């Protein structure tokens, strides 16, 4: 074997680097949570180290750099030539956003449980594809076990089943392709587009539903957006009206998508009423539960998704609220037979018959052919901790969302965008002597200043065409203490901006 190849596959070198990397990540985990780093990383950008409860220095949650500066850094790094892998790993960690930091409150991506990350390492090293059984015997079997567990948790019977796929966007697209195959009058898959198809969805739904309809060639008129009420839930009483108009416009509506929950505010649509409407009109009922579908594991909050068991298909991102590393998404079907109808085509080099419903050949039902062994990431958590881990995590984070709302209400210069039912909390700073036209500008300034300072990471959204700060409380180490500190910092930034 060539010396370079021999070095690249050297088992003892791998063992040494692996131990060092795990030590580095463990130190990082301590540092971002408690300030207990044995090997502190250098300060970058405008990020500032802060004092943790034990008096030690805590790393920033984000080290902000402008896009062009970040690109230049890595271009220059590559130009330096070959270097030590551990130095590279250390630099990547220091310049990345730190989801395990207790002041990470940004996007809907979970700080993965360390065991899930170890399972990802195992999956990446083995590199077994999952399209066909002989290439992915373990991953296909584990995928079957995991999806059946989720189906049972939803409340479905033995005829249910599902697949794992790479993210909610791909899962929602696949579900709508199934809906098209099952409900469209024409054989679109075999004969192409004839009838103009459409779906109905909340105006607050995730953009990937809109994108899916456009990918399928339905155009803008194929996405019928139903207005929302003051709680940002779909106004289900308008469904009949919009269906009648669609028919009059020559559209064939085949599906309704319910949100559980919406991305901006965490609002759950009334799934029972959507189901009734779909049953009455013979439409496919799909639930985008990428974030909030995880409440099926929470005894306390399961009621928020009442009616999810009535859906024809459900999407749940396990890298959002079920502690798994990204990307790990479940697409579940109330009637598993429907999943085999999505992609009906021959691939003789993979399997002898497309018509056979073989759960162990996942390529028959997924967009991907080669697919990561994502099932092991979830199975490892269930096998080690049981599903009660999910219950405790979801319930705790949703509780924290309510607690944060109460803290906001106690401060006269803040206002809630909506009473939260999840761990998504929208609010804004509204100083008494700042005109309404300046409030959006002020809150956008506050958000950007927070990012550049690096102590907190939050995002922003628009509700009723107004800018709101938005937190998604994803970290199980975040407490009311950090939330009060966030509000204090926002007040300081506002005073600096306008001298309130």
CATH of the domain at 204: 3.40.640.10
Where in the sequence is the domain holding 430, given as residue range(s)? 389-498
Assess whether 152 and 196 both reside in one domain: yes
Tokens 């559209």 correspond to what residue? 251
Q: Omega of the bond prior to 372 within 30 degrees of 0, cis?
A: no
Please say if the pLDDT value at position 349 is more than 50.
no
The answer to whether residue 101 is domain-embedded is no
- Let me know how many helices (H) and strands (E) the chain has, helices first: 16, 13
| Nearest to 61, CA basis, from 27, 26, 33 | 33
Say if residue 51's pLDDT is above 70: no
Whether residues 375 and 409 fall in one domain: no
Within this chain, do residues 374 and 399 fall inside the same structural domain, yes or no?
Answer: no
One domain, residues 261 and 236 = yes
Residue 185: inside a domain, yes or no?
A: yes
Residue 26 lies in a domain: yes
Q: Phi and psi at residue 386, in whole multiples of 5°?
A: 80, 165
- Domain shared by 87 and 29, yes or no: yes
The answer to whether residues 150 and 284 belong to one domain is: yes
Say yes or no: 75 and 134 in one domain: no
Q: Is residue 219 part of a domain?
A: yes
Domain's final residue, options 386, 420, 438: 386
Name the average pLDDT for the chain.
91
CA pair distance 328, 333, nearest whole angstrom: 17
- Do the domain assignments include residue 29? yes
pLDDT (tens digit per residue) in 365-382: 887 878 889 999 999 999
Residue 252 has pLDDT above 60, yes or no: yes
Query: What's the rounded mean pLDDT across residues 209-231?
Result: 94
The residue out of 96, 118, 150 marking a domain boundary is 96
Domain match, 430 and 462 both? yes
| Cβ–Cβ under 8 Å, residues 438 and 361 | no
Single out the residue in 350, 368, 386 at which a domain terminates: 386
User: Is pLDDT of 47 > 60?
Assistant: no
Residue range 68-97, pLDDT digits in tens = 999 999 999 999 999 999 999 999 999 999
Same domain, 394 and 456: yes
Q: Is residue 15 part of a domain?
A: yes
Residues 397 and 298 in one domain: no
Q: Which of 95, 91, 36, 86 is nearest to 60 (CA)?
A: 95
Residues 392-444 pLDDT 10s: 999 999 999 999 999 999 999 999 999 999 999 999 999 767 677 789 999 99
Domain count, the chain: 3
In a domain, 259, yes or no: yes
Residue 121 belongs to some domain of the structure: no
Residue 377 and residue 403 in one domain: no
**Mind listing the pLDDT tens digit for each residue in 118-150?**
999 999 999 998 778 888 899 999 999 999 999
430 and 380 within one domain? no
We report the CATH number of the domain holding residue 400 as 3.90.1150.170
Query: Each residue of 279-338: pLDDT tens digit?
Result: 999 999 999 999 999 999 999 999 999 999 999 999 999 999 999 999 999 999 999 999
């Amino acid at each position: 074997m060539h010396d370079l190849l021999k070095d690249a596959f050297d088992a003892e070198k791998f063992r040494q680097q692996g131990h060092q990397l795990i030590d580095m990540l463990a130190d990082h985990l301590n540092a971002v949570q408690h300030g207990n780093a044995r090997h502190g990383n250098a300060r970058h950008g405008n990020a500032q180290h802060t004092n943790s409860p034990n008096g030690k220095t805590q790393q920033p949650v984000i080290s902000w750099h402008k896009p062009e500066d970040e690109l230049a850094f890595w271009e220059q790094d590559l130009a330096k030539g070959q270097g030590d892998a551990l130095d590279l790993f250390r630099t990547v960690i220091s310049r990345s956003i730190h989801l395990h930091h207790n002041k990470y409150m940004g996007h809907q991506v979970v700080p993965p449980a360390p065991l899930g990350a170890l399972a990802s390492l195992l999956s990446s090293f083995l590199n077994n594809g999952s399209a066909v059984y002989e290439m992915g015997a373990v991953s296909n079997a584990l995928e079957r076990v995991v999806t059946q567990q989720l189906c049972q948790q939803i409340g479905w019977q033995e005829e249910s089943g599902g697949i794992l796929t790479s993210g909610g966007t791909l899962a929602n697209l696949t579900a709508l392709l199934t809906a098209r195959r099952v409900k469209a009058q024409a054989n679109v898959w075999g004969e192409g587009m004839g009838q103009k198809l459409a779906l109905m969805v909340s105006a607050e739904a995730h953009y990937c539903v809109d994108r899916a309809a456009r990918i399928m060639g339905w155009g803008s008129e194929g996405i019928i957006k139903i207005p929302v009420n003051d709680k940002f839930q779909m106004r289900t009483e308008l469904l009949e009206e919009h269906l009648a108009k669609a028919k009059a416009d020559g559209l064939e509506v085949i599906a309704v998508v319910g949100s559980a929950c919406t991305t901006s505010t965490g609002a759950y649509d009334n799934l029972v009423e959507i189901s009734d409407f779909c049953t009455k009109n013979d439409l496919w009922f799909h639930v985008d539960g990428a974030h909030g579908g995880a409440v099926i594991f929470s005894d306390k909050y399961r009621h928020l998704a009442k009616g999810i068991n009535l859906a024809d298909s459900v999407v749940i991102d396990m890298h959002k609220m079920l502690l798994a590393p990204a990307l790990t998404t479940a697409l579940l079907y109330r009637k598993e037979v429907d999943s085999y109808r999505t992609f009906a085509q021959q691939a003789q080099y993979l399997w002898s018959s497309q018509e056979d419903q073989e759960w162990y050949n996942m390529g028959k039902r997924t967009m991907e052919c080669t697919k990561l062994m994502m099932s092991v990431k979830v199975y490892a958590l269930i096998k080690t901790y049981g599903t009660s881990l999910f219950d405790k995590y979801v319930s705790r984070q949703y509780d924290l969302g309510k607690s944060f709302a109460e803290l906001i209400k106690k401060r006269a210069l803040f206002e809630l965008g909506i009473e939260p039912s999840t761990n998504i909390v929208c609010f804004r700073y509204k100083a008494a002597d700042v005109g309404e036209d300046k409030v959006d500008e002020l809150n956008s300034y506050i958000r950007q200043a927070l990012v550049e300072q690096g102590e907190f990471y939050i995002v922003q959204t628009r509700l009723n065409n107004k800018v709101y700060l938005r937190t998604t409380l994803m970290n199980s180490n975040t407490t009311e203490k950090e939330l009060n500190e966030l509000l204090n910092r926002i007040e300081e930034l506002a005073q600096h901006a306008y001298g309130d």
